[in-house]
């Protein structure tokens, strides 16, 4: 992992680079870090040069300073892309990262040939009761219970099934280490952001991956796909953490999109289901050890 210090700033942005091939940027969700993509990196790095940052206020990167916005997060990642001297880059984003990915594609439409958004929307302005709950309840829990207890609650919602315990424990641990100010600031930024009016600017071939049981309405994502001229793949049985609970479906869709292969609309994508407990535990330990390795490196 490498540190990238923004010009004329005191903040640092950390990122990983794995593999060789066409450039592909992966943007994680709220409360996570670049290490969250390990399930996908191992499949994608065989064909792509995968660039995986920790967003400001996340992972090893410096906390968010002042007011946060989705546009500013996108500009920060474009600064990283410029630092790497890349003219064009494919982008995939999960949840908050999907909003940042879309904002990047709208800021420089000609520079993003392919775009994937996983359990993300084009606007998070409150126009539905479920959006109100997602915007208001988590910050309230953080203030009432503290970050550790709120993280446990969030992890239980993400991965409620018995066989998902390794994922649930890791999610609780990762979210609980988030900088509270940055976490709440990014959540507020997401609520203020909308790209609906700017969608006609989008030039990228776009794929939406949507969980059947995501926290925000599936109907809105179906309408959004139509509005964007995007293909949508619905993963049956998945909740919000689709890159974790539906690894095969996520990786297959991303590989098809970024390799310019057709994504069969008639294929029935399903949640991974009940895997062998030892296999899932092994994957969970792999990701956690990957994170710990980089913590030690940067602590030296």
Superfamily name and number for 2-299 = Alpha/Beta hydrolase fold, catalytic domain (3.40.50.1820)
Average pLDDT over residues 145-159: 94
Is pLDDT larger for residue 159 or for residue 3? Answer: 159
β-strand partners of 294: none
Least confident window among 17-21, 66-70, 86-90, 252-256: 66-70
Mean pLDDT of 64-75: 90
d(Cα 224, Cα 218) in Å, to the nearest integer?
Answer: 10
Q: What are the residue boundaries of the structural domains of the chain, listed by start?
A: 2-299
d(CA 156, CA 145): 15
Q: Which residues contact 220 (CB under 8 A, 6 or more apart)?
A: 121, 128
Q: Phi/psi at 175 (nearest 5 deg)? A: -65, -40
Angle 176-183-248 from CA coordinates, rounded to 5°? 70
Q: Which of 242, 230, 202, 255 is nearest to 50 (CA)?
A: 255
Q: Residues 14, 64: contact at Cβ < 8 Å?
A: no
pLDDT tens per residue across span 173-227: 999 999 899 999 999 999 999 999 999 999 999 999 999 999 988 999 999 999 9
pLDDT for residue 275: 58
> pLDDT tier at 277 (50, 70, 90 boundaries)?
very low
| pLDDT for residue 279 | 53
pLDDT band (50, 70, 90) for residue 293: very low
Sheet holding 48-53, edge to edge: 2-5, 12-18, 48-53, 22-27, 90-94, 114-118, 205-211, 231-236, 269-270
**pLDDT score of 282:** 57
Higher pLDDT, 112 or 293: 112
Q: Determine the average pLDDT of the residues in 247-274.
A: 87
pLDDT tens sequence across 82-136: 999 999 999 999 999 999 999 999 999 999 999 999 999 999 988 888 888 888 8
Q: According to the model, what pLDDT value does residue 283 have?
A: 55
Give CA 153 to chain center in angstroms: 19
pLDDT at position 101? 98
Question: Mean pLDDT across the chain, nearest whole number?
Answer: 87
Question: DSSP states of 141-170 as a string?
Answer: HHHHH-HHHHHHHHHHHH--SGGGHHHHHH
pLDDT of residue 292: 39
Considering the entire predicted model, what is its pTM? 0.90
């Amino acid at each position: 992992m490498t540190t990238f210090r923004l010009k004329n700033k005191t903040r640092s942005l950390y990122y990983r680079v794995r593999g060789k091939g066409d450039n592909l940027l992966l943007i994680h969700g709220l409360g996570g870090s670049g290490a969250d993509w390990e399930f996908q990196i191992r499949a994608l790095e065989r064909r792509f040069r995968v660039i995986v940052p920790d967003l400001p206020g996340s992972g090893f990167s410096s906390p968010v300073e002042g007011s946060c916005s989705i546009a500013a997060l996108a500009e920060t990642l474009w600064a990283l892309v410029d630092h790497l001297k890349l003219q064009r880059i494919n982008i995939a984003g999960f949840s908050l990262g999907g909003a940042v990915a879309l904002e990047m594609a709208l800021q420089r439409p000609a520079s993003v040939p392919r775009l994937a958004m996983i359990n993300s929307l084009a606007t998070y302005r409150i126009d539905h009761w479920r959006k109100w709950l997602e915007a208001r309840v988590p910050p309230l829990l953080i203030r009432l219970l503290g970050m550790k207890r709120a993280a446990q609650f969030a992890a239980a919602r993400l991965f409620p099934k018995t066989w998902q315990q390794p994922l649930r424990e890791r999610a609780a641990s990762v979210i609980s280490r988030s900088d509270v100010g940055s976490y709440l600031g990014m959540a507020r930024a997401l609520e203020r952001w909308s790209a609906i009016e700017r969608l006609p600017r989008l030039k990228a071939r776009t794929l939406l991956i949507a969980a059947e049981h995501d926290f925000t309405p599936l109907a809105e994502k179906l309408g959004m796909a139509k509005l964007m001229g995007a293909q949508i793949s619905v993963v049956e049985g998945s909740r919000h953490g689709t890159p974790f609970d539906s690894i095969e479906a996520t990786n297959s869709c991303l590989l098809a999109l970024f390799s310019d292969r057709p994504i069969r609309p008639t294929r029935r994508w399903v949640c991974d289901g009940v895997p062998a407990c030892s296999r899932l535990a092994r994957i969970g330990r792999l990701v956690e050890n990957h994170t710990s390795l980089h913590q030690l490196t940067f602590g030296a």
